[in-house]
Structure 1
Amino acid sequence: MRVVEVTAYGGPEVLRMARRPEPEAGDVPGRVRVRLKAAGVNQADLRIRAGHYADAVGALTPPFVLGTDFAGKLLDPVPGLEPGARVAGFVPWYTELTGEGTYAEIVRVAPEWLAPVPDDVEFTVAASLPLASATAQQGLDRLTLPPGATLLVTGASAVVGRLAVQYASAAGLRVVAVVHEGDESELRVLGADHVITRGTPEEVVAKVLEGDPDRVHAVFDGALVGEALLPVLRDDGVFLALAPDRVPVPERDIRVETVRAQPDVVRLKESLQKVADRELTTRVADVMPLEEAAEAHRRAEAGHRPGRIILMI
C-alpha cells in the first residue's frame, strides 16, 4: 500500500511516498482495518516532522508515518458496525508511538476509536473533526469554568478554535474570539460574544483589555501563542496550552493546564451527527491528494488559509 513517510527530521521535503505491506485481517490482536478515504493534516504533524518533539517520542525515529485524523470504510467487522461502514476517528499517535499514522491507504485501529459517519457528511469533512473536536471538548473540561465566565479563544478561525467557540457558547460561557480578518460575522453566528482580529501578541492583548478591562477568566490558546497572553488573565485565571512547547510559566496564581486528547467515541458520534444536522461547523481549508503531502505541510506552515487541510486517499 502507499504511505507517506517522514524520512528524517526537517522541512516538508523530508516527506516521501513509499510502499509498505498491506495489513491483513487479525494480524494485530484487537485491531481492525479501515481503508481510508481522507486524512487530516494537523499542527502536531508539522511539529513532529520538524523534530520539535523528538525527545517526546522516545525511541521512535524516522522513517515513520504521520497522521491522526481519518475517515474511510471499515474492512473488518466490529460490534455494531459491519464491513463497508463509513467511519471516522483519530489515532492517538503520541500514546501509541508505533509510527503507523494515517498518511496511508489502510490503517489498523482499535474498535473503540471508531464512530459512524452519517451518510450526508462527506469523508473530507468527517476527517477534519475527530482530533479537533476531542481537543476542544477535553480542553474545555480541564478549564472547569462556570456558566457566565469569560473565555478568550485564540485561533478561532481554525478548526480547534472554532469548535471551542461553539462548545463554549453552548455551555453558557461568554466567548471572546480572535479571528482572521473577514471571519468576524461568521464567528459571531457560531457563538462568539465579542470578536477581535488577530495581530501580534501585544496587539491581541491590547484589544482584549480594551473590551474586557477587568480581564478574562480563561484562555483557550488555539493559536499556540503561549505566555505572551498571560496579561489578559485575571489573577486566579486559567490558561489552556495545546502544545508542550507553548506552556507558560504560571504567575499571579494563574492555573496552567495542558491537554492531549484521547479518543471519545460517544462524543465524536454526537459531533458528527451535529455536523450532519447543521448544528456544528468545522472548516476544510484545502483538499489535496496523498502524493502532495509535502505541499500540504508547506501550505499549513505558511498559514495558507484557516481550516484543516485534508489528504484524499
Structure 2
Amino acid sequence: MRAVGVTEFGGPEALHVVDVEPEPLGPGQVRLRVEAAAVNPTDTHARSGAYADRDPVKTPPWVPGMDLAGVVTEVGEGVDHLAVGDAAMGIVVPFGPHGAYREDKVLPANSVVRAPRGVDAVAASTLPMNGLTARLALDLMALAPGQVLAVTGAAGAFGGYVVQLAEADGLTVVADASQADEQLVRELGADVVVRRGDDVAERIREHFPEGVDGLADGSVQDAQVLPAVKDGGAVATVRGYRGNGQRGLRFFPTLVRRVAEDRAALDRLRQQAEDGVLTLRVARTLPMEEAAEAHRQLERGGVRGRIVLTF
C-alpha cells in the first residue's frame, strides 16, 4: 500500500512515497479508496516532528494528513449510513503510518459521511477537519444570535469556515483581511472587515468600542489580539493558547480530535455545503508524489483555500 510520509522528521524534502501495511477492517469501521487529501498546517508540523512525543507509534514511517475524500470500498459490521460505492469524506486522527496521505484508509464509521452532492473528492477533502474545528470553536464559545464575533485569519480555511458558520448562526462578524483578501472575506459573509496587522485589536475596537463578545483567533496572534475582546469574553484558540489570566477572559483551546467521531456534526457540515452555506475552496491540486512541493507552497504562505493531494 502506497502512502506519503517521512522516515526521518525534517523539512518538505523529508516527504516521499513509502510502503505501509493495509489496515484491517473491524466492526464499526469503513474502508475508503482515497482520491484526495487536503494539506493543512498541522501536516507540516507533524512532518517536522512537532507531535512526535504524542504519537503512540515510535517507528517510521509517519504519515501526515487529517482530511480525505474518496470512495467507500468496504463497511464493517454495524455500519448502516454508508454503502460500498458511496462518495465519502472523513476526518483522520493521524498516528504513525495511519494519516490521510495514503491510497487506502480505514476509519471509524462515525468519522466518515457522504460527500456533499455535486462536489468532487478534491473539494470534499477540504471540509472535514477545518469545518469541524470551526464548528467546535463556535460551540465552545456558545455566543447567542446577535452577539459579536471577531475572526482573525479570516481568509484562511479555518477562519473562512468560522465566518460562514457564524453568519449562519446569526452572529455579527468582524473579520480581518489584507487589502488583497478584503473582497474574499466580504464574500464569505463578514459584516465588518478591518485591515489585518499588529494593530488589528485597535481596528476592531474602532467599530466595537466596548469590545467583541468572542474571538476566533485563526491567525494565532494570541495575547496581541486579546484587547479586542470585552471583559469576560470568550476566546477560541487553535494552538493550545490559554491566555494570561486577565480580565476574566474565557479561553477555549479548540482540539478537533475531541469531535473526530461526531458524525452528526460532520453530516451537518455536509448539508451546509450542499445548501451553499459553506464554500469549499481549493487553491490547487498536486499528485501525491509531489507532496513535498505542496508543503513548500503552504509554508511559503499566501495560499487561499487548500492545496490538495490527489491519489
Q: TM-score, normalised by structure 1?
A: 0.90
Q: In structure 1, what is the equivalent of residue 254 of structure 2?
A: 259
Q: Choose the corresponding residue for 1:233, options 229, 237, 241.
A: 229
Matched letter for residue 91 of structure 2: F
The residue correspondences of 1:1-313 to structure 2 (distance < 5 A) are 1-23=1-23, 26=25, 28=26, 30-57=28-55, 60=58, 62-77=60-75, 78-93=79-94, 97-199=95-197, 202-244=198-240, 246-261=241-256, 262-263=259-260, 264-313=262-311
Which range moves more in the overlay, 159-168 or 111-120? 111-120
Q: Which amino acid in 1 is paired with 2:300? A: A
Q: Deviations over 1:85-126 (max 9, x none)?
A: 111010123xxx354011000011111111112441111110
Cα RMSD after superposing both structures: 1.9
- Contact 1:162 / 1:282 at 8 angstroms: preserved in 2? no
1:62-95 per-residue CA deviation (whole Å, 9 max, x = no partner) reads: 42111111100011134132211111010123xx
CA distance in 2, matches of 1:135, 1:148: 22
1:126-180 deviation digits (Å, cap 9, x = unpaired)? 0000011110111101101122221110111111111111111121211111124
Q: Give the match's secondary structure for 1:288.
A: strand
CA distance in 2, matches of 1:247, 1:297: 28
Query: Unmatched 5+ residue regions in structure 2?
Result: none
Distance 2:118 2:57 in 1: 42
Change (3 A) 1:72 1:12: same
Identity of aligned residues (%): 37
Runs of 4+ in 1 over 4 A off after TM superposition: none
Q: Give distance in 1, aligned partners of 2:59 and 2:222.
A: 28
- Tell me which amino acid in the other structure corresponds to 1:32: V
Q: Quick one: distance in 1 between partners of 2:250 and 2:276?
A: 35
Q: Look up the equivalent residue of 1:89 and give its one-letter code.
A: G
Q: CA deviation at 1:213?
A: 2.3
Q: Which runs of 5+ in 1 are unaligned?
A: none
Contact 1:158–1:283 (Cα < 8 Å) also in 2: no
Q: Out of 182-191 and 216-225, give the one that drifted further.
A: 182-191
Deviation at 1:258, TM superposition (A): 0.8
TM-score, length-scaled by structure 2: 0.91
How far is the alpha carbon of 1:47 from its aligned partner?
Answer: 1.5
Deviation at 1:58, TM superposition (A): 5.5
